[in-house]
Amino acid sequence: MSTIIVDKIAKSFGATQAVQDVSFEVHPGEIFALLGPNGSGKTTSIRVILDIYQPDSGSVTILGGPMTNEKLNQIGYIPEERGLYQDVPLDRCLTYLATLKGLTEEQIKERLPEFLAKFDLTDHAKKKAKELSKGMQQKGQLIAALIHDPEIIIIDEPFSALDPVNTQLVKDLLIEQRNAGKTIVMCTHQMNQVEQLCDRLVLIDHGQVLMQGELSEVRDRFRTNEVVIDSLDPLPEKLNGVSRIERLNDSYRLTPQAGHSAHQLLDELLAQGIKLNSFEVAVPTLDEIFIQVVKEGNGKHE
Amino acid sequence: MNKTTNVARYEYLHHVGSKRFWLYLVSVPLGFGLILVISLLLSRFSFDTRPVGIVDNGSLIQLEPDNSKESTFFNPQIYLYVYPDESTARSAASAGEIQGFALLPQDYPARYQLTYWTNKQPDSGIQSVITDFISANLMAAEHIDYAVLRRINEGSSISLQSLDGSQTSDGTSWHRIAVPVVIGVLNFIVVMSSGGYLLKALVEEKENRTIEIMLTSVPSREIMAGKIVGNLGVGLTQIVVWVLLLGIAGFLFRSKLGFLADIHLSGSYLVISLALMVLSFLFMAALMATIGAAMTSTEESQGVIGLMVLPMMIPFYFFNVFLSNPNGILARVLSFIPLSAPLALSLRMAISSVSPLEIGLVFVAIITFTLLMFWLAGVVFKRGMLQYSKRLSLKEIFKKETRNA
């Protein structure tokens, strides 16, 4: 059974249709990427899932039914617009937010020091949020989202404001949570992180779903027969079975003619006596897929 | 319910633990006390307590001036000395022994005109000291007891009683209006300060984006309820502390506050006034929540608060109208408006008779207004709290929610 089922939700604000007919499912124990350009409807979708907004139509099923007060305690959320009480010491702020997630003071006393230590914030616990760096505030937000051991974690841009060390810390944490069986929904523009972390994804633009599926399946869908080679010799202008040769920095991208496989292309190169350092089938990056899909989507909207 | 308690507890402790709260708590009574002390001292030190002389050239004075009353700092007396002739009195005045002297000419019994010699404007008390003494001597000459004559001149004290016996007034007890005024002032201070805290908390949560995390932890109505209860607690704490301070001050100066014994307050009067204050606060809290959710910054919201002060102050502006016609249209209308009702109705109840039916209707109206305001606050809160950079328009507030699923 899916942890989250979003079924044909629509939501408008005045004349603006924020999302329309959006459907997707998030499975237990996976990291799910909710992707889309700015203003595509990601945040609205999340707010509908979290029952902050009522959808104009459609429905959301979360943990087997509609949202309830009890289920709010099973969700850890870090919104796009980060927020901590600026004039309150970090530990007091986190204690308060944890009580709102149903933790007792005893539980908080037990867990908070562990989280502060894990995120290297112990020495900063008594500082007010406004005295902390953006990265520290971000880590504070992560503690607020995780301290109550939620079943579902929804994070908008989890790596923003983090340095490489802390980015790795958060990545490890998300993997640890997934391994512990938690369901994670992640919104981000950092496609390399999605490629490294996510199991499945949905791409939304103009409030509509453009593409969804497992990461490997999506990649396969956009895979071409193109190959990238690193050659010691310069390539001739024309090669049999190759429709296009593109010079990259230190390599070439070869586009085979219709009906020609990568294997045949390799045979042709070897037959030509071209010395190769490397030969690989070009898999489109998620960035490229993202741009391609969004551009196609924009074409439809124009 | 537990989360509402958590929100209320946090709000209460957050504000009560702030420097701003303690500064306000101390500065208000201290400010009032300071103003009172300064005015008393200014008044006392500007009051000339030196004796006044009197020279009788009209052979009128038979009695000795009564200088037996002890002159104290808070109750100064101006003593009167009789001088045998003008030159002696003038010398005493020039030497500063007396502040001036009254000269009764020979023809005083015929013209009743005298001259007061002095180099400064006489204080208000001097005229009565001189005229009382002369009157007493005039009466003595006619063998009339001056104390009896003064009692006759004072006339009768008329006590007013409503036909149903529920309200009484002796017509001179100014302190009857003191209680509603104190209620009005306390209501104003508490509503404005607690309402201000509530507004600040909401706008800040919107400004620092904490509200979105709150909304995914606690239903919006519970956030609102918690905030209102917490801030009401802050307001009530202020009242309790100030009333305690007033009580301590009253105990310390009880010998000077004998008139307080004349204030008779019925239990129902106090219950009605307190209930009106609580309802007024709830209405204001909902109003502040509405403003806080609709506005985008603290500065913007502060401007709107100013407008809220007006209805609370109207009964003060029209105080004379209340006193002259407590059951007139203006006084009645203001009794039905949540922000002006605590002062308006308690003032009317103190100085006239207000029927139980009308009191009931006032409560029905104010509870209805308060519920409507809570409904509006709920709508605006849900629609406006996540609009970080855009003020919520009236059209957006009253747009029908379309939910088909």
pLDDT digits (tens, 9 = 90+) for B199-224: 878 878 877 778 888 888 988 888 88
With the CA atoms of B182, B187, B193 and B199 taken in that order, what torsion angle do they form, in degrees rounded to the nearest 10?
-170
Please give the pLDDT value at position B404: 34
- Asked if A128 and A58 sit in the same domain, the reply is yes
Instruction: Judge whether A201 lies within some domain.
Output: yes
Using the beta-carbon criterion (under 8 Å), do B396 and A14 form an inter-chain contact? yes
The whole-number average pLDDT for the span B353-370 is 91
By C-alpha distance, which of B62, B65, B82, B66 is closest to B143? B62
Residues B300 and B236 in one domain: yes
The answer to whether residue B381 sits within a structural domain is yes
DSSP per residue, B73-114? SSS----EEEESSHHHHHHHHHTTSSS-EEEE-TTHHHH---
pLDDT at B356 over 60: yes
Sign of CA dihedral B386, B389, B391, B397: negative
Final residue of a structural domain among B121, B155, B189? B155
- The sign one gets for the Cα dihedral A82, A88, A89, A93 is negative
For residue B286, the model assigns a pLDDT of 85
Chain B residues near residue A96 by CB distance under 8 angstroms: 6, 10
Residues of B in contact with A52 (CB under 8 A): 212, 215-216, 386
Same domain, B249 and B393: yes
Q: Using the predicted structure, report yes or no on whether residue B368 has a pLDDT greater than 70.
A: yes
Cβ distance of A83 and B10 shorter than 8 Å: no
**H/E run at residue B27:** helix B19-45
CA of A289 vs chain B CAs: smallest distance (Å): 32
Let me know whether B148 and B178 are in one domain. Answer: no
* CA distance linking residue B349 with residue B326, whole number of Å: 9
Q: Do B378 and B313 belong together in one domain? A: yes
pLDDT in tens, A198-247: 999 999 988 899 889 998 888 888 777 788 888 877 888 888 888 888 88
Strands (E), A120-182: 152-156
In a domain, B403, yes or no: no
Give residue A4's pLDDT: 95
Three-class secondary structure of residue A115 per DSSP: helix
Contact, A207 vs A58, CB < 8 A?
Answer: no
Considering A72-76, A292-296, B339-343, the range whose residues carry the highest mean pLDDT is: A72-76
Residue with tokens 């009896």: B148
The 3-state DSSP class for residue A25 equals strand
C-beta of residue B216 within 8 angstroms of C-beta of residue A47: no
Would the CA dihedral through A111, A113, A116, A119 be positive or negative? Answer: negative
For residue A280, the model assigns a pLDDT of 87
Domain match, A8 and A125 both = yes
Tell me: do A174 and A266 sit in the same domain: no
Q: What is the CATH classification number for the domain harbouring B59?
A: 3.40.190
Q: What is the pTM of this model?
A: 0.74
Residue A115 inside a domain? The answer is yes
Q: Are B276 and B353 in contact (CB under 8 A)?
A: no
Write the DSSP assignment of A31-48 as a string of letters: EEEEE--TTSSHHHHHHH
Angle at B11 between CA B299 and CA B190, to 5 degrees: 70
Per-residue pLDDT, A115: 94
Q: Are residues A50 and A171 in the same domain?
A: yes
Where does a domain end: B131, B155, B179? B155
Are residue B143 and residue B191 in the same domain, yes or no?
no
Residue A27 corresponds to which tokens in the numbers above?
């499975």
B178 and B303 share one domain:
yes
**Contact at CB, B215 and A85, closer than 8 angstroms:** no
**B137/B61 Cα distance (integer angstroms):** 6
| Contact residues on chain B for A55, CB-CB shorter than 8 A | 403, 405
Q: Indicate whether B400 pLDDT > 60.
A: no
Indicate whether B22 belongs to any domain. Answer: no
Same-domain check for residues B180 and B231: yes
Burial (CB count <10 Å: 0-12, 13-18, 19+), residue B181? middle
Same domain, B132 and B180: no
Contact A90, A132 (CB under 8 A): yes
Residue A37, judged by CB atoms within 10 A of its CB (0-12, 13-18, 19+), counts as: middle
CA distance B208 to A83: 5
Spatial strand order of the sheet with A75-78 comes to: A75-78, A152-156, A183-187, A31-35, A200-205, A208-214
Q: How many domains does chain B have?
A: 2
Contact B326, B348 (CB under 8 A): yes
CA triple A134-A139-A144, angle to 5 deg: 120
Mark whether A141 and A259 lie in a shared domain: no
Which domain does B382 fall in, by range? 169-397
In 3-state terms, what secondary structure has residue B377? helix
> Looking at A198, A220, A242, which one is the last position of a domain?
A220
CA distances from A161 to A167, B264, B296, B305 (A): 9, 67, 25, 37
Chain A residues in contact with B404 by the CB 8 A cut-off are 56-57
Residue A51 DSSP SS3: coil
Size of interface A-B (CB pairs under 8 A): 73
Same domain, B375 and B247: yes
Which residues in chain A have their CB less than 8 angstroms from residue B388's CB? 81
**Assigned domain for B129 exists:** yes
- Residue B190 included in any domain: yes
Q: Do A55 and B405 touch (CB under 8 A)?
A: yes
* 45-64 in chain A: CB under 8 A from chain B: 47, 50, 52, 54-59
pLDDT at B360 (0 to 100): 93
Using DSSP, state whether B175 is helix, strand or coil.
helix
Do B7 and A100 lie within an 8 Å CB cutoff? yes
Q: Are B195 and B308 spatial neighbours (Cβ–Cβ below 8 Å)? A: yes
Across the range A24-40, mean pLDDT stands at 91
For position B64, what pLDDT does the model report? 86
Host H or E run for residue A7: strand A4-13
Q: Are residues B220 and B151 in the same domain?
A: no
Main-chain dihedrals φ then ψ at residue B194, nearest 5 degrees: -65, -40
Q: What is the pLDDT of residues B285-344, one digit of tens each?
A: 888 888 877 777 777 777 777 777 787 888 888 888 888 888 889 999 999 988 888 888
Furthest-apart CA pair in chain A: how many Å?
A: 74
B68 located within any domain: yes
- Residue B310 sits in the same domain as residue B208: yes
Query: What is the C-alpha to C-alpha distance for residues B187 and B343, in angstroms, rounded to an integer?
Result: 8
Q: Categorize the per-residue pLDDT at B195 as very low, low, confident or very high, splitting at 50, 70 and 90.
A: confident
Would you say residue B2 has pLDDT above 50? yes
Q: Is residue A296 part of a domain?
A: no
User: Is the same domain home to A47 and A149?
Assistant: yes
Interface touch A100/B386, C-beta < 8 Å: no
Same domain, B147 and B260: no
Residue A141 sits in the same domain as residue A10: yes
A27 plus A157 within the same structural domain: yes
Is A144 found in the same domain as A185? yes
- Residue positions counted in chain A: 302
**Same structural domain for residues A18 and A88?**
yes
Per-residue pLDDT at A41 exceeds 80 = yes
pLDDT, residue B73, reads 77
Q: What is the mean pLDDT of residues A265-290?
A: 85
pLDDT at position B142: 81
Higher pLDDT, residue B211 or B398 = B211
Residue from A83, A92, A128 nearest A112 by CA: A92
Mean pLDDT of chain B, nearest integer: 81
pLDDT tens string B37-78: 898 888 878 788 889 999 998 888 888 888 888 887 777 888
Task: Among B130, B155, B180, give the residue marking a domain's end.
Answer: B155
Give the rounded percent of residues in chain B with a pLDDT score beyond 70.
86
Q: What is the reported pLDDT for A126?
A: 94
pLDDT of residue B66: 84
Q: Which two tokens stand for residue B359?
A: 């009191």
Give residue A233's domain range.
Answer: 224-281
d(CA A131, CA A238): 63
Q: Are A13 and A135 in a shared domain?
A: yes
Q: What is the per-residue pLDDT across B232-273, written as a single tens digit (0 to 9) for each?
A: 888 888 888 888 888 888 788 777 666 666 666 677 888 888
Nearest residue in B to A73, CA atom: B217
Terminal Cα-to-Cα distance of chain A (whole angstroms): 38
Q: Which of A50, A56, A97 sits opposite B404 (nearest CB)?
A: A56
pLDDT per residue as tens digits for the range B96-134? 899 999 999 988 888 888 899 988 777 777 888 888 888
126-145 of A, contacting B, C-beta below 8 A: 129, 144
| A159 and A198 both lie in a single domain | yes
Total domains, chain A: 2
Q: Is position A288 within any domain?
A: no
| Between B296 and B366, residue with greater pLDDT | B366
Q: B163 vs B305, which has greater pLDDT? A: B305
3-class DSSP state for residue A155? Answer: strand
Structural domain contains residue B13: no
Q: List the CATH number of the domain containing A131.
A: 3.40.50.300
